[in-house]
Amino acid sequence: MARILSAFAIGLLFGFGLLASQMANPAKVLAFLDVFGAWDPSLAFVMGGAVIVSSLGYLAARRLGHAVLAPKLDIPSRRDIDPRLVAGAALFGLGWGLVGICPGPALTLLSILPREASIFVASMLVGMALFRLVPQSGVASTLREADA
């Protein structure tokens, strides 16, 4: 139960961060990606701030050796750069660049822009479900659950 409550509270905090930073504003995201136009570099500060705090959390968790509410830390251990990683990141970048929405903001936008966000989220879930039709290699299927 504690794990479920903490996940809920952390989801809220994550959403507050998306709202406060304007990461959940597609126009702001596209302006950040428009490096060769009227560039708005603001969102670099989102990633910078987030990476610093998340790395501190990682160091603390590693030092602790386990999670406070769970027996182990579920951290991906793969190091190889495989074709799936490259192709998946490229397809993701294309979709993100087309409208400026990535998965977290898509969910947070559902109550703010219900029509547009529900079309996007439904399509995103279909895209995720279609991934399950891709043949899994032995290594990929055993490691899939541990992926970020």
Partner 1 sequence: MTAFTPLSALAGGLMIGAAAALLLLLNGRIAGISGILGGLLPPQAGDAAWRVAFVAGLLLAPVAYAALGHATPAVSLEASTPLLVVSGLLVGFGARLGSGCTSGHGVCGIGRGSRRSLVATAIFMAVAVATVFVTRHVLGA
- Window 117-136: residues binding partner 1 (CB under 8 A): 119-132, 134
Residue 41 CB, nearest distance to partner 1 (Å)?
Answer: 7
Q: Which of residues 80-109 bind partner 1 (CB under 8 A)?
A: 80-81, 84-104, 106-109
Whether 30 contacts 100, CB under 8 Å: yes
The binder of partner 1 chosen from 53, 136, 139, 141 (CB under 8 A) = 53
The binder of partner 1 chosen from 54, 136, 137, 142 (CB under 8 A) = 54
- Determine if 139 is a binding residue for partner 1 (CB under 8 A): no
Distance, CA of 135 to CA of 148 (rounded, Å) = 19
Q: Which of residues 13-42 bind partner 1 (CB under 8 A)?
A: 13-28, 30-31, 33-38, 40-42
Residue 92, C-beta contacts closer than 8 angstroms, at least 6 positions apart: 102
In the bound state with partner 1, the residue whose beta carbon lies nearer, of 4 and 138, is 4
- Determine if 75 is a binding residue for partner 1 (CB under 8 A): yes
Distance, CA of 99 to CA of 119 (rounded, Å) = 12
The alpha helices in 65-144, defined as continuous H runs, are: 83-99, 103-108, 114-131, 138-143
- Determine if 138 is a binding residue for partner 1 (CB under 8 A): no
Dihedral sign computed on CA atoms, order 43, 49, 52, 54:
negative
